[in-house]
Amino acid sequence: MMQNQQGQQGQMHQNMHTGNVPPQLNHGGHEVIDLNEVLGAAIGTMNSYMLLRQHVKDPELLDILDRQYKFMQDEYNITVECFKTGQNPSHPTSKYMMNQGNDFIYGMKPTQPKKPWQSVSEINDEYISHCMLASCKAGASMKTMAALETTNPVVRRVLADSIPNCIEMGYELSIYQNKHHYYQVPQLAEQDMNTYRNAFAPAQGQMMGQPMGQMPNNNMNNNMPH
């Protein structure tokens, strides 16, 4: 029994050094840890959506929540699939598409100061949409960090392709919040904005450097006193 275990360990050790790693084991340590965090957070987001759904009052927000949940569930499933197998999932990552325009209302209006609730009955669409938006932002950040640590090419591509979807969902929610004055967007004065806008110019020309294979000029060293 002991010899059999040593033989298996030796074979795995040999595979690791020769590059003949089985697809299901083609994952680095950082990748495995980060993927567990990403998938755990995805479960937490979907669970939160499910808990919050019963409190939604606005049909538009309910539609956003249901569409995002369905999309997240499918994306979660293919991520789990390629993480387990190390190979392509049953279908490529889809592209999330929101159903509304992208016009923002700029400017600030006075609002009542926010404070902690006194009762759970105070839960409202503003809070629900804020929780959803925070989850999308967190997902985009976590998946970006995980993709940068991922060695398996399939898993890396699935993670990288899912990041724009998190951004799109967050954008959809920020537009919804802005439309209902939950999320206000201030602007700089026009003069200040133009100063920032014109602070950069296009890059021109080519990079000038030492040609490959050419030795540095040693004339300076040769002229120095011995």
* Amino acid residing at 88: N
pLDDT of residue 18: 42
16 pLDDT above the threshold of 50: no
For residue 132, which of 172, 179, 77 has the smallest C-alpha distance? 172
pLDDT of residue 225: 53
The pLDDT tens digits of the residues spanning 158-186 come to 999 999 999 999 999 999 999 999 998 99
Contacts 24+ apart (CB under 8 A), 201-205: none
- Contact yes or no for 157/76 (Cβ under 8 A): no
Q: Give domain 25-101+125-180's CATH number out of 1.10.10.350, 1.20.1260.10, 1.20.1440.230, 3.40.50.1110.
A: 1.20.1260.10
For residue 15, what pLDDT band results from cuts at 50, 70 and 90? Answer: very low
H-state helical runs in the chain:
2-18, 29-53, 59-85, 125-149, 153-179, 190-197, 219-223
For residue 226, what pLDDT band results from cuts at 50, 70 and 90? Answer: low
Average pLDDT estimate for 112-124: 91
Q: What's the mean pLDDT when you consider all of the chain?
A: 86
Cα–Cα dist 186/108, whole Å:
6
Point out the least confidently predicted range of 75-79, 127-131, 149-153.
149-153
